[in-house]
C-alpha cells in the first residue's frame, strides 16, 4: 500500500521553480478532499516552497522525505 | 443596561466602519523593463502567484511593451519616428537581451542554452503558462503611442487590456503585493 | 440641452496619461454634487482609467460614447 | 439574554482591537534610479496616485538624488571627492539619461522629442504638477552626504524633507502601495 494512502504520484523530477508549485496547484483539484498525493521533486527549493504553498492555499503537507537525489512530499487536499 | 449596550454597539460600529479594507490576495506588477532576465523573473513571480491562489496582473509599460510585440506581424502607416523606434526596439521576446552580461549576444545565448538544459521554462513557455493560469496583462496606452506600436502588432493574449496609470493604481491599492520590475 | 444635463465640458483632447485623470480629479470639485461634467478625450486608455478613477474617488461614470477620433465621458460628482 | 449580548459584545470588541490596521490609501516609493525614463514613470505614478485620492510620498536616494540638483546653483566649500562626484553625476533632471537606448545621447534626445510631439508631460512639467498636487518629496540624508550634495544645491520644492530609512519605513508600512524604482 502506498505511504499515507497516497492515491497518486505526481512526478516533477527535473523541473525547477516555478514549475513544482504551479503543477501542484493545478493537480490538487484532481484528487478528493482528504486524499493524499505523493509528489516527487528534485528541486531543493520545494522543501521551503511546498509548506509555503500549502499554508497559502489551505492544504496540508503530511510528510516530507529526503532521499538520495529525490524529495518526496505527501500533500493532503484539505479544501 | 440596555442603553450601555446600545452605546457600546454604536462605538464598535463606528470603529469598524473607519477601518480600511484589508488587501486582497493579489499581485500587481509594473513591467517597465524590457530585459530578458527581468521578464523571466516577472513571469515566474506572476505564475507562482496564481499557483499560490492569488490573482496576478502585469502592467506592461515603456520598454516592457516591446516584449509584447509579435515578430510575425508587420503593420504599415507609421510615421518616420515610429518607424525608427520600431527598428531600434526589440521585435518580440525572442530579441530581448540580458540586463547584465549580454556581451554582444554571447551571454544571452548562453543563458538561454543553460535554461534549456536545466529545464527552466523559456519566456515563450512562461507566457503560455501565464495565459493558461489566468495572469492578466494590461498595457500602457501612452507607451504604445510613444513607441509608435499599434495594437495589431502585439501578441495574442487572452483578455489583454489597454489602460493608463489609474487602472494600475486601482489594482495596486487593493493588492497585497506590488512590484516594479 | 446638453446630454445628461452636463453643466460643463472639459476638453482634454490630445492629452495622454496621466493628464486625463489628473485633470478630472482637479475639476470635479468645480461642479456641485449631483451635477455632470462632459469630458472630451482622445486617449484610449481613458476608457479603462475613468471607471477606475471613479470607483476610487467615489464618483460615477454616467455614460461613455466612442465616436470617430473622440471619446466622450459623462462624469457625475457623487461626493 | 442580557448576559449573552454583553459577552458577545466584549468578544467582538476584543476581536476588533486585535485586528491589524488596514493600509491607508497611500503610495510610498523609493526613487533609487537616476534614469530619465524611470523618473518619468515614478512621477506619473505619483501624480496619478493623488488623482486617485491617495497620498503620495517619494523617497529620493542614491542616483535619484542627482535628479533633484538645481543646475543653476553652484556651491563652494566642497572637498576634492565631493567635487569629483559633483562633476561626474548629472546636474539636474535636464541631464538625465535613459536606462536603455541612450546611444550617446541620440536615443535620449529622440525620446524627449517624441514626448513633446505626443504631448507627454516632460519631467520638468511632471515635477511642477507633483508640487501642485501635493506629492511629498523626502530626500535621503545619507545619499546627500555620500555624493557630497548640499541642501542649497537642490531644486525648490514645497516642504521638501530630509530624512533616513526609518522615515521611509514608517510611511511604507501604513501605505497600500509601495514601490522601488
Query: Would you name the residues of C annotated as active-site residues?
Result: 17
Q: Residue B1 pLDDT more than 70?
A: no
Using pLDDT thresholds of 50, 70 and 90, give the confidence band for residue D2: low
- Span D108-132, mean pLDDT? 91
- Span A53-61, mean pLDDT? 95
User: What pLDDT is stored for residue C1 in this prediction?
Assistant: 53
Using beta carbons and an 8 Å cutoff, which residues of D are at the interface with B?
A: 2, 5-6, 9, 12-13, 16, 19-25, 27, 37-38, 41, 44-45, 48-49, 51-52, 54, 99-101, 107, 110-111, 113-115, 117-118, 120, 176-181
Least confident stretch, A25-29, B108-112, C52-56, D81-85? D81-85
Using pLDDT thresholds of 50, 70 and 90, give the confidence band for residue D32: very high
User: What pLDDT is stored for residue B2 in this prediction?
Assistant: 61
Residues C35-58 pLDDT 10s:
999 999 999 999 999 999 999 999
Cβ contact, residue pair B164, C55, below 8 Å: no
Average pLDDT value over all residues in chain B: 90
Q: Residue D4 pLDDT more than 80?
A: yes
Cβ contact, residue pair B169, D52, below 8 Å: yes
User: What pLDDT is stored for residue A15 in this prediction?
Assistant: 94
Q: How far is CA A48 from the centre of its chain?
A: 12
pTM of the model: 0.90
Count of domains forming chain C: 1
Using pLDDT thresholds of 50, 70 and 90, give the confidence band for residue B178: very high
**Sheet holding B24-31: strands in order across?**
B161-163, B136-140, B55-60, B24-31, B175-180
CATH number of residue C14's parent domain: 3.30.110.40
% of chain C exceeding 90 in pLDDT: 92
- Please tell me the distance from the alpha carbon of residue D58 to that of residue D52, in angstroms, as a whole number: 16
User: What pLDDT is stored for residue B93 in this prediction?
Assistant: 84
Beta-carbon contacts of residue B49 (< 8 Å; ≥ 6 apart): B27, B55, B56, B135, B177
Q: Residue D77 pLDDT more than 80?
A: no
B137/D94: higher pLDDT: B137
- Please tell me the distance from the alpha carbon of residue C75 to that of residue A5, in angstroms, as a whole number: 61
User: Do residues C38 and C46 touch, judged by C-beta distance below 8 A?
Assistant: no
Closest partner residue to D179 (CB to CB) among B19, B145, B180 is B180
- What are the backbone angles phi and psi of residue B40, rounded to the nearest 5°? -60, -45
Show the domain range for A49: 3-76
- Please tell me the distance from the alpha carbon of residue C9 to that of residue C40, in angstroms, as a whole number: 7
Please determine, for the modelled complex, whether the ipTM score is greater than 0.95. Answer: no
How close are the terminal C-alpha atoms of chain B, in Å? 58
Measured between CA atoms, the residue of chain D closest to residue B12 is D13
| CATH code that applies to domain D28-180 | 3.40.1260.10
Domain borders along chain B are 28-180
DSSP codes of every residue in D2-32: HHHHHHHHHHHHHHHHHSPPPPEEEEEEEE-
Using pLDDT thresholds of 50, 70 and 90, give the confidence band for residue D108: confident
Amino acid at each position: 500500500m502506498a505511504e499515507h494512502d497516497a492515491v497518486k504520484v505526481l512526478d516533477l523530477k527535473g523541473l525547477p521553480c516555478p514549475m513544482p508549485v504551479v503543477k501542484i496547484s493545478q493537480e490538487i483539484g484532481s484528487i478528493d478532499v482528504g486524499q493524499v498525493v505523493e509528489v516527487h521533486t528534485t528541486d531543493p527549493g520545494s522543501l521551503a516552497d511546498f509548506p509555503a504553498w500549502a499554508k497559502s492555499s489551505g492544504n496540508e503537507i503530511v510528510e516530507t522525505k529526503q532521499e538520495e537525489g529525490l524529495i518526496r512530499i505527501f500533500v493532503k487536499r484539505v479544501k | 443596561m440596555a442603553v450601555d449596550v446600545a452605546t457600546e454597539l454604536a462605538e464598535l460600529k463606528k470603529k469598524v466602519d473607519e477601518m480600511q479594507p484589508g488587501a486582497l490576495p493579489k499581485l500587481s506588477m509594473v513591467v517597465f523593463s524590457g530585459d530578458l532576465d527581468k521578464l523571466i523573473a516577472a513571469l515566474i513571480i506572476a505564475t507562482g502567484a496564481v499557483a499560490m491562489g492569488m490573482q496576478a496582473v502585469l502592467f506592461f509599460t515603456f520598454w516592457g511593451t516591446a516584449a509584447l510585440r509579435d515578430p510575425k506581424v508587420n503593420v504599415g502607416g507609421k510615421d518616420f519616428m515610429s518607424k525608427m523606434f520600431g527598428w531600434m526596439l526589440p521585435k518580440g521576446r525572442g530579441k530581448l537581451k540580458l540586463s547584465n552580461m549580454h556581451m554582444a549576444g554571447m551571454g544571452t545565448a548562453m543563458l538561454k542554452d543553460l535554461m534549456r538544459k536545466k529545464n527552466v521554462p523559456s519566456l515563450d513557455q512562461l507566457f503560455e503558462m501565464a495565459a493558461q493560469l489566468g495572469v492578466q496583462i494590461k498595457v500602457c496606452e501612452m507607451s504604445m503611442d510613444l513607441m509608435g506600436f499599434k495594437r495589431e502588432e502585439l501578441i495574442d493574449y487572452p483578455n489583454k487590456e489597454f489602460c493608463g496609470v489609474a487602472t494600475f493604481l486601482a489594482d495596486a491599492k487593493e493588492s497585497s503585493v506590488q512590484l516594479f520590475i
